[in-house]
């Protein structure tokens, strides 16, 4: 009808969609996807380690033996054979699980959304780490909670802060944590903190959501027990194959009490009917060979360890003495804290101009903090590219410091 399209929808959006607009950071990331830019921003796994011939033969099997299932609709809870395979994967981290207590989701991200949907009424208080996984904040924020932020230090969540908040009468609906090699922090919750958190939440009657995407990607030291294994009744556990296999199949899961599982399945059916059977059958067949996935995992750990080392060495050599950063024992990320006067969001355009990208810190706080912080991912670029990227970023930080000093002296 009309030649020029006009926005007839502008006054009709829901309250929760009011703030949904593309940010400048988003636009910069589009620029940063050019190959000459060293992206230390995205958390894309190194899927080139997957043996392609084996993948091809597993896919052939899927189509030969299970096409009728792989191409069809499935149930909301996910294929039973896959849920069985996922319990074996959880056993590798000391988590005992019944396949009946597992809901397969489109990555662990969808589990966060569905948990928000079944637990959060507008105005409810929920407890998150500061900084927290930005995708969890996006998922939860759709349901309009208030946030209780609990700081992180080198031993993970400062559980004492949560305890003081409870004493003062604040009652979060749940506590959300990434205890192993957190995103963006890279830090791991110590055993003492785990015991404290689990005991405190049990006493207070507050469920814990334990998100563990990186647990199997440990480079140094011994694994710590999952929160779920310390108190199965009170911990909802989230996992994913995005880091041990491939994000492209979109397979994550929640392990929870039957009453929670039942609601998650109904919420899942309302959200997208069912997961991709194709992705689920492929994942199930892939993990059916334990020697294979353990070999791929060992390759990944070795590769990521070298990339982490390259990044930490380069940072130590090149960043100004005012910078502080975490030393992750696994996972994907290093978290950098710079002097208070530095605005990492404002600096991103200059960084992209110098062909290096990172994620500014403010995205990881629901309360506006983090303007002098940034996240660096070492998972995807080669060691050589990581060194290049850190060199460029180090030079930029040096120039910024020089500029700041000259302005301050005036």
Q: Which of residues 212-271 bind a copy of itself (CB under 8 A)?
A: 230-234, 242, 246-250, 257-260, 262-263, 266-267, 269-271
Nearer to a copy of itself, 277 or 371 (CB): 277
Considering the complex, state which of residue 312 and residue 379 has its C-beta at the smaller distance from a copy of itself.
379
Our finding on whether 80 is near a copy of itself (CB under 8 A) is: no
Binding to a copy of itself, residues 163-182 (CB under 8 A): 173-174
48 lies in the site for a copy of itself, by CB under 8 A: yes
Using the 8-state DSSP alphabet, how is residue 121 labeled?
Answer: P
What is the rounded CA–CA span in Å between residue 184 and residue 361?
9
Nearer to a copy of itself, 59 or 288 (CB): 59
- Could you say whether residue 200 binds a copy of itself (CB under 8 A)? no
Phi-psi region at 374: left, alpha or beta (left = phi > 0; alpha = psi -120 to 50): beta
Instruction: State the Cα–Cα distance between residues 280 and 162, nearest whole angstrom.
Output: 38
Other beta carbons within 10 Å of 259: 8
| 74 contributes a contact to a copy of itself by CB under 8 A | yes
According to CB under 8 A, which residues from 275 to 334 bind a copy of itself? 275-279, 282
57-65, 154-162, 307-315, 316-324 -> range binding a copy of itself (CB under 8 A): 57-65
Contact between 70 and a copy of itself per CB under 8 A: yes
Tell me the window of 120-128, 185-193, 218-226, 366-374 that interacts with a copy of itself (CB under 8 A).
Answer: 120-128
Binding segment for a copy of itself among 116-124, 285-293, 312-320, 358-366 (CB under 8 A)?
116-124
Nearer to a copy of itself, 259 or 406 (CB): 259
Instruction: Give the residue from 376, 371, 408 showing the smallest Cα distance to 392.
Output: 376
Residue 151 tokens read as: 């700081």
Q: What is the CA angle 82-87-93, rounded to 5?
A: 135
Q: Which among 238, 197, 220, 408 is positioned nearest to 329, based on CA atoms?
A: 220
What residues are paired with 107 via a beta bridge?
none
- DSSP 3-state percent helix, strand, coil across the chain (nearest 5): 50, 15, 40
Least CB distance from residue 277 to a copy of itself, whole Å?
Answer: 4
Residue 143 interacting with a copy of itself (CB under 8 A):
yes
Of 139-147, 218-226, 302-310, 402-410, the window that binds a copy of itself (rule: CB under 8 A) is 139-147
Q: In the chain, count H helices and then E strands.
A: 13, 14
**Of 27, 31, 56, 192, which lies in the binding site for a copy of itself, with binding defined by CB under 8 A?**
56
What is the dihedral sign for C-alpha 311, 389, 52, 283?
positive
């Amino acid at each position: 009808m009309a030649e020029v399209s006009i926005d007839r929808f502008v006054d009709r959006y829901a309250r929760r969609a009011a703030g949904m607009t593309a940010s400048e950071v988003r636009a910069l990331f589009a620029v940063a996807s050019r190959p000459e830019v060293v992206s230390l921003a995205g958390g894309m796994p190194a899927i080139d380690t997957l043996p392609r011939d084996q993948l091809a033969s597993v896919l052939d099997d899927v189509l030969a033996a299970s096409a009728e299932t792989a191409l069809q609709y499935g149930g909301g809870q996910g294929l039973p054979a896959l849920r069985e395979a996922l319990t074996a994967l959880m056993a590798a981290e000391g988590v005992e699980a019944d396949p009946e207590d597992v809901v397969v989701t489109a990555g662990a991200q969808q589990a966060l959304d569905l948990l928000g949907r079944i637990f959060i009424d507008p105005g409810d208080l929920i407890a998150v780490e500061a900084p927290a996984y930005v995708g969890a904040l996006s998922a939860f924020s759709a349901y309009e909670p208030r946030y209780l932020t609990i700081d992180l230090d080198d031993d993970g969540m400062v559980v004492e802060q949560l305890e003081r908040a409870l004493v003062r009468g604040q009652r979060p609906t749940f506590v959300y944590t990434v205890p192993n090699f957190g995103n963006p922090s890279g830090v791991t919750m110590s055993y003492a903190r785990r015991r404290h958190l689990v005991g405190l939440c049990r006493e207070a009657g507050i469920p814990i959501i334990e998100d563990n995407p990186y647990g199997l990607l440990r480079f140094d030291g011994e694994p710590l027990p999952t929160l779920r294994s310390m108190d199965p009744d009170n911990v909802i556990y989230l996992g994913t194959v995005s880091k041990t296999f491939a994000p492209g199949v979109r397979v994550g899961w929640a392990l929870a009490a039957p009453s929670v599982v039942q609601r998650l399945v109904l919420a899942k059916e309302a959200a997208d009917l069912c997961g991709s059977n194709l992705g689920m059958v492929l994942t199930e067949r892939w993990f059916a060979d334990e020697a294979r996935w353990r070999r791929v995992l060992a390759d990944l750990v070795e590769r990521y360890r070298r990339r982490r080392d390259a990044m930490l060495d380069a940072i130590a050599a090149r960043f100004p003495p005012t910078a502080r950063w975490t030393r992750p024992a696994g996972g994907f990320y290093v978290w950098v804290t710079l002097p208070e006067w530095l605005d990492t969001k404002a600096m991103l355009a200059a960084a992209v101009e110098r062909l290096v990208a990172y994620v500014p810190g403010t995205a990881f706080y629901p309360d506006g903090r983090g303007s002098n912080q940034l996240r660096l991912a070492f998972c995807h670029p080669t060691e050589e590219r990581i060194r290049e990227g850190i060199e460029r970023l180090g030079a930029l930080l040096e120039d910024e410091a020089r500029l700041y000093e000259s302005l301050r002296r005036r």
